[in-house]
Chains A and B, each alone.
Chain A
Amino acid sequence: MATAVIDGLFSDEVFTATELNRHVGTVLDHACVRPVTISRNNDLFALVKREYAARMIRTMAQMKSALSLLAEAHVAISGESPAPVFAWLTIYEKDDLQRLFTEVLDAVGRAASGASDWGDVQAVIHEWEESALVAKSGVLDQAMFHEPAEESPLPNPDEFLQYLEPSQMAAGESCPESTSQ
């Protein structure tokens, strides 16, 4: 993953600018395999495949995003108000926030080591934020703790949809309660 790319910068091959000019094909062939360094006077340049560079930049962005959340979670744990963009953190109590901290940190660790993708980190953060939004809305509290229970089987979409007129399907109009099974 990106970490391996970064490690690769320190196990590269060095070419001079003159060598690059004279043997550009050879240098690029090496750059396809691993990062190479081009030296010119006192300056050093890294030459890497664009996809590696893109992955490194994406990794940095994801890391920054995760660290911002962790910093604000730390603020919330200490009892202060997090930045407005992370205001959803305030729905959680201290023990919840500590669990969030641990889960996100674990996910970051796995992604940084290459054991998982950075998408998994974003998924964990997304799940915490979504859970906060549900709690904030109160719809699930209402459904779980206050609404009457009149249980009945959930309609199978295939069976439900086959009885609809095509015009209803196209319109996506709201169903009357009598359509329930």
Chain B
Amino acid sequence: MPGIDEPIEPEQTLDLEIPHPARTEQGEDITPHGWLLVAQNKKVIKGWNDLCLQIPENAKRCYLWLRNDPTRRIPGRCYELKYKHYAGAWAFEVGSGQRVYYKIREGTREVLIYYAGPHPAKAPYPPT
């Protein structure tokens, strides 16, 4: 995991272990296709496609991670947002300046992507 003081280069490939889908006792995949990734609207799809162009390898790994284990934390990279009004929402830091925010739907095994694109504009800290 990159440290806070070590900014991730946008093109840097994530070194993620991609988990295998869960299996039954007989060894059959419970969810052979993993989780279904759903974009909330066209704006999300456009943001995602842009992100795929900018950092394709990272986007592929993010896609695989969310399909296989969207609520498995990667410290500092894939985590549940802390702000209480976003309860149940997760962040995936695809690159140093790219983010994906999503929630899961357990019942239908869907990952609903609310946002995919550049890091939200940061307020100037300290105030100038």
Checking A96, A123, A153, A172 against B39 with a beta-carbon cut-off of 8 angstroms, the contacting residue is A153
The distance from the CB of A64 to the nearest CB of chain B, in whole angstroms, is 13
Residue in B54, B91, B113 whose beta carbon sits within 8 Å of that of A134 in the complex: B91
Near A by CB (< 8 A), chain B positions 56-72 give 56, 59-60, 63
Contact B115 A140 (CB under 8 A): yes
Contacts of A124 in B (CB 8 A): 75
B: number of interface residues (CB 8 Å): 52
Interface residue? A100 (CB, 8 A): yes
Q: Are A93 and B84 in contact (CB under 8 A)?
A: yes
Given A84-B125, A143-B101, A180-B46, does the pair A153, B41 have CB atoms closer than 8 Å? no
Cβ of A22 within 8 Å of any chain B Cβ, yes or no, is no
Contacts of B1 in A (CB 8 A): 119, 123
CA distance A138 to B122 in the complex (A): 10
> What is the bound-complex CA distance between A119 and B127, given in angstroms?
28
Annotate A54-78 by CB proximity to B: 1 below 8 A, 0 otherwise.
0000000000000000000000000
Count of inter-chain pairs, beta carbons less than 8 A: 173
Q: Which residues of B contact A160 (CB under 8 A)?
A: 49, 52
B14 CB-CB contact with A under 8 Å: no
Bound Cα distance A58, B116 (Å):
35
A157 adjacent to B52 (CB under 8 Å): yes
Question: Is the CB–CB distance between A144 and B114 below 8 Å?
Answer: yes
> Which of B4, B36, B116 is A125 in contact with, Cβ under 8 Å?
B4
Q: Please indicate the chain A residues that have their CB under 8 angstroms from the CB of B112 in the complex.
A: 151
Q: Is the CB of B38 within 8 A of A131?
A: no
Contact A158 B83 (CB under 8 A): no
Could you tell me the distance between the alpha carbons of A122 and B99 in the complex, rounded to whole angstroms? 19
Instruction: Beyond the given A120-B75, A151-B39, A168-B53, please list 12 additional residue pairs across the A-B interface where CB-CB is below 8 A.
Output: A122-B5, A124-B75, A127-B76, A134-B101, A137-B121, A138-B120, A139-B115, A147-B40, A147-B41, A151-B112, A153-B37, A160-B52
